[in-house]
Structure 1
Amino acid sequence: MKKGPLLVVVVMTLLAFSFRPYHHGWANYDQNKTLDYVGTVEAFTFENPHATARVKDKKKTWLVILAPTSRMESRGVPSDKIVKGSKLRVVGYPHKKIRDEMRAERIYVDNVKYELR
């Protein structure tokens, strides 16, 4: 057997076992503590792996992790209506370790509910 193909197989195998993709994981959010508030959008990002929004609720600004953009679109979330200064109702769960981060289960835009999960 030639060393070239064997080397490729060995390298690919090592990469497959050593590669750990970055993802925060939903287990990091406390599903026993539901947050439900209306806040003001300070920033909105519609890009993968998840859309995000910075939403100010009273004195606290949350980094709200939304759904992937494909799910946002398939659920009919009007991304063009989530703009800086708009009101957004967010229902979701706080991160267990990151104090100002939460994962949204659903959002309300102009009083219309959008399920994100």
Structure 2
Amino acid sequence: MMRRYLVPFAAVAALSAPAVALAHHGWGAYDAAQLVKVTAPLSDVSWSNPHGGAKVRYQGKVWDVVLAPIARMEARGLSKAMLSTGKPVTLEGYPRKDGTAEMRIERVRLNGAVVELRR
């Protein structure tokens, strides 16, 4: 009886894996040789998976900020309340290579603390 349900479940899982992998972008799109440091208030903070996000004004543009997964941020001491909209923080990360106004954040500095998101 169990085998009857296991085979279709395994087939659906196998067919879904590539879609999930394509939905999440790789980190190769970011320029790890060019560290960007921005101190500004955040807007549109998103506390969601596969990773959190926000927006920040930098170089006259609104940039998308790619954070880490919620579980990692919380495990390292970063809470949703600490990243509330309008709160100034210092973000350090890498910009996209293609010039899109988006950065992958490596660390967040606020209230005298430094939270490493990727190490």
* Runs (5+) with no aligned partner, structure 2: none
Indicate how the Cα distance of structure 1 residues 35 and 18 shifts in structure 2: closer, same or farther if over 3 A, else same.
closer
Q: Does 1:55 align with 2:56?
A: yes
Q: Secondary structure at the match of 2:81?
A: helix
- Superimposed CA distance per residue, residues 79-102 of structure 1 (whole angstroms, 9 cap, x where no aligned partner): 202112110101000012251111
What's 1:65 paired with? 66
* Identity across matched positions, percent: 32
Instruction: Name the larger-Rg structure.
Output: 1
Query: Deviations along 1:35-69, whole A, 9 cap, x unmatched?
Result: 01201212201010001011112522211100000
How many residue pairs were aligned? Answer: 113
1:13 to 1:101, Cα distance in 2 relative to 1, 3 A: closer
TM-score, normalising length: structure 1: 0.81
Moved over 6 A (4+): none
RMSD: 2.6
